[in-house]
Chains A and B, each alone.
Chain A
Amino acid sequence: MKTTRVLLYLVLLFFVIFYLLPVYVLLVTSLKSFQEVSLKTMWNLPTRPSFESFVRAWKGDKAKGLRGLSQNFMNSVYLTIPATLISTLLGAMNGYVLTKWRFRYSNLIFAILLYGMFIPYQSVLIPLVRVMQKIKLYGTLPGLIMTHCVFGIPITTLIFRNYYSTIPTELIEAAKIDGADFLKIFTRIVLPVSPPAFAVAAIWQFTSIWNDFLFGLVVTPNPAVQPITVALNNLAGSYFVEWNIQMAGALLTALPTLLVYIFLGRFFIRGLIAGSLSGT
């Protein structure tokens, strides 16, 4: 049936346009000068495209007190990679215990851990600052890493628990009979088959942590320590926004996560196929 195939591709193409429309506007605006930027002309191509906005967004302008993104880029890297790795590992550990070493309150503990996902973050800002101060981690990158790890535990636990529940218990039982202990089973049997779950958890966490704004803003008030998302926000003036610079900055900030999805997207899907989030 040729016509249904054509229809199928048409629908797919329609959605491609839908998903790419905003990117077009982002790109086109970031190539314009501020005088040319206007709501009225958002679809128009720039008359004299230039990368100046990107340069300004990236380098900033020290004389004018405009802080560029480049200074905070590495902060985000130092934040996101450790936080992703740690929270993912914690999720794996929790998932392992909750599925293969059930005890009386396994499900309750799972529910308790999961519930942490649902708390609105604005409500915890003040006590968060207080606690961070008490443990002397306030204003530091390790403090921010810790914050993200804690609030990442629910979702990573969910991912790994769902995934590990697909590992047949017979495998574990057999290993126990062979004399393997808790740690050995984890490192020899469970971890080696975990890459798909790691892919899902790591990609999800990387995106959430890299894109986080609120915690980065509140836990680390010193601009020298803040992640790139906060610096992006500060590219805007507080009175009016130079959209060409903002959008250029937004594209630059989104680049790492975009690349993750473009190149590692298939591992994400493979991980999902392996049952990391389907819940069966």
Chain B
Amino acid sequence: MKRDKLVAFLFILPSIVLVGIFVYGFIGWTGVVSFVNWRDVFPDYTFVGFRNYIRLFGNYRFLISMKNTAIFTFLFLVSSVSIGLLLAILLDRKVRFEGFFRTIYLFPMAISFVVTGVVWRWLLNPGTGGESIGINLLFEKIGLSFLKSGWYTDPNIGIKAVVIPAVWQMSGYVMALYLAGMRSIPTELYEAAQLDGASVYQVYRYIVLPLLRPITLGAVIILGHISLKIFDLVFSMTGSGIGFSCDVPALFMYDTTFRGNYFSQGAAVSIVLLLLVSALIVPYMVYTIRSEVRR
């Protein structure tokens, strides 16, 4: 028994050590940098307390980028979950060519965010001088001109337009999660419900959806962390956008660190992002642990 515990510990030790150094060590380093006066390529470790953070929260661009991330995350999560769920429900209805549909919906995950960003930049370019291009042109051609929009060139829309490629890329994954979840629901539950005379709608509303709640939570966590860290997609698609309407903290951090050489400010942004992420994951951990104790 003792020996087993030892082997178990050895099994998990490499991961703990590696994560300890590469994640926590680096977070520590970032934290230290955020509290010093490093504003040039040459490192300067003079301690300045919270000054970088105070400056950060007075920085116009930073505040906008935080607002944008909040908007983006909310829209991205809601849309991905809704579309993923919708597609899963549809495909669960014994559809012909299910494999074909599933593959099509899933494949965008195979593409990198950089490529996605570039193509959607083209697609959502509204055109100029009275001439539409991209999606706007399509809408025109099929008679749905009222759907035309300035997309990300419109400062009131900005980052909301970036939600579209993000959903394009990840909703298939959410669909796969839900589909898997639905398929693991024991058929007896379905049969019992049908025997009781429940309609399709009622089956989904009162049996299936509640059982899918843990999946929703898991999807939210994974999508949420992608959303908070989002960089590649915005970088290649819109950059900061007009009036910083597409700016996100990761982009701001990259710019201020590697273009402006303001390393301490970049570090402060990273720490703020990490704290935000913690706000997401801690409840999830608590929930998972509690639900397992129940089992």
Contacts and interface: CB of A to CB of B under 8 A. Distances in A.
B65 interface: no
B4 A119 contact: no
Contact of B123 (A22, A107, A109, A211): A22
A154 interface: yes
Contacts of B123: 21-22, 25, 42
Interface string B1-29: 00111011001101110110111111101
Given A97-B12, A120-B274, 14 more contacts: A8-B93, A43-B137, A101-B8, A112-B24, A116-B22, A118-B277, A131-B22, A247-B118, A253-B112, A261-B107, A265-B107, A269-B176, A269-B179, A278-B181
B289 A107 contact: yes
A273 interface: yes
Contact of B26 (A117, A119, A262): A119
Which of B15, B30, B250, B270 counts the most chain A CB atoms within 10 A? Answer: B15
A272 B158 CA distance: 35
Interface stretch (B47-55, B187-195, B225-233): B225-233
A224 interface: no
Contacts of A268: 106, 176
Interface of B: 3-5, 7-8, 11-12, 14-16, 18-19, 21-27, 29-30, 83, 86-87, 90-91, 93, 95, 99, 101-116, 118-120, 122-123, 125, 127, 131, 133-134, 137-138, 165, 168, 172, 176-177, 179-181, 183-184, 214-215, 217-218, 222, 225, 228-229, 231-232, 250, 253-254, 257, 266-267, 270, 273-274, 277-278, 281, 285, 288-289, 291-292
Interface stretch (A10-18, A51-59, A63-71): A10-18
A12 B3 CA distance: 56
17 contacts: A19-B107, A25-B123, A40-B133, A94-B15, A97-B12, A101-B5, A107-B285, A120-B250, A120-B253, A153-B18, A181-B3, A211-B113, A213-B232, A250-B118, A265-B102, A270-B180, A277-B222
Contacts of B103: 261-262, 265
Which of A115, A213, A250, A270 counts the most chain B CB atoms within 10 A? Answer: A115
A115 B281 contact: yes
B21 A131 contact: yes
Contacts of A151: 22-23
A113 B276 CA distance: 18
A interface: dominant SS: helix
Contacts of B289: 107
Contacts of A253: 112, 115
B1 to A, nearest CB: 9
A280 B93 CA distance: 24
A280 B214 contact: yes
Interface string A144-170: 000101110110010000000100000
Given A22-B119, A113-B15, A122-B250, A277 B281 contact: no
B23 A119 contact: yes
Contacts of B93: 8
Contact of B115 (A20, A119, A207, A254): A254
A103 B278 CA distance: 24
B288 A254 contact: no
Interface residues of A, number: 85
A213 B110 contact: no
A201 interface: no
B90 A122 contact: no
Interface string A243-265: 00011001001100110111001
A114 interface: yes
A19 B172 contact: yes
A191 interface: no
Contacts of A25: 119, 122-123
A78 interface: no
A225 interface: no
Contact of B19 (A150, A250, A258): A150
A96 interface: yes
